[in-house]
Chains A and B, each alone.
Chain A
Amino acid sequence: MENGGYLIAAFGAIWLGIALYTAWVGSQTAQLRRDLSSLRDLLRDDQTTRG
């Protein structure tokens, strides 16, 4: 394939870029899930203490 290196680099860059961005959003989402879970635990503890 003529100039195959440029072709592979271009498509590789696109899918690597999209995959890295998706992975970053996924890691942020996982962190958010943990934060929400902690906040819910705090709420529950607060309710129990007041109850």
Chain B
Amino acid sequence: MSIETQVRSLPGEAVASEGHAARRLPHPGLFDLAVALAVLADLYAIFAISPAERVQGDVFRIVYAHVPMGWLAYVAFTLVFGASVAYLWKRRPGADYLARAAAEVGVLFTTLLLVTGVLYGRPVWGVWWTWDARLTTTLVLWFVYVGYLMVRSAIADPERSARIGAVLGIVAFANVPLVQLSVTWWRTLHPTPSVTQPGAMGGTLLPILLFSMAMFSIVFARLVVLRLQLVRGQAEARQLAQLVAERTEV
């Protein structure tokens, strides 16, 4: 079999022909321009349309970013869970790539959730941090998924990394409902979710929060897709490098 034929038979066919993989790698385009415009529209809504809250004042506007960060961290770790189950069931590398990409973006959004929470807590509660159930479980969630990424990076064998990662991705997900229910199970300083409570967010608050959630969801999806393409490309490049090494040794 010629080397070209062997390369063509690689999974995903990404490195099959001249420039194929390179073409699949991300390039900024119209979608990114649309994302940038959505971000500007959201910032306008948050800072120009939304009024300051009666008690908390302008600092309340942090909620428009803090809540979507939390929501999207849940989405990311749910994706990790689903993709991990799919990998163990079907053993498709694509599921593992998705789990890895979603976990990384999930850690980013959890980091931003914690940072915005600290910056919101200081003027509203008078403290930067308190060992409240919601804050503590969220910090544990962050450590668990940072650990997931570290374990994944430490295992050199891709198949073993995927298998162990899938088990971890399923086990780690137990933290997500724990974080969500922490405010109802224990007495906490952190408020219970007000989005689902009728009348809790009147006027323009709820529409702007929902718009902000939609906008951050688009940014989140874009980041996951970018990272997914990169993880897939790196895996294919590894396979190709192995093939080249085998050929040049002969």
- Do A17 and B244 contact each other (CB < 8 Å), given the known contacts A22-B226, A32-B233? no
Contact across chains for A25 and B59 when beta carbons are under 8 A apart? no
Contact across chains for B123 and A29 when beta carbons are under 8 A apart? no
Number of chain B residues close to chain A: CB under 8 A: 44
Number of chain A residues close to chain B: CB under 8 A: 29
Chain B at the A interface: SS class: helix
Contact across chains for A36 and B21 when beta carbons are under 8 A apart? yes
Closest A residue, CB atoms, query B108: A21
Contact across chains for A6 and B241 when beta carbons are under 8 A apart? no
B contact residues vs A (CB 8 Å cutoff): 2-4, 7, 15, 18, 21-22, 25-26, 43, 52, 57-59, 61-62, 65-66, 69, 105, 108, 111-112, 115-116, 119-120, 122-123, 219, 223, 226-227, 229-230, 233-234, 237, 240-241, 244, 247-248
A-B contacts, 16 of them at CB < 8 A, read A6-B119, A7-B59, A10-B62, A14-B69, A14-B115, A18-B108, A21-B223, A29-B25, A32-B233, A35-B237, A36-B21, A36-B237, A39-B15, A40-B18, A42-B244, A46-B244
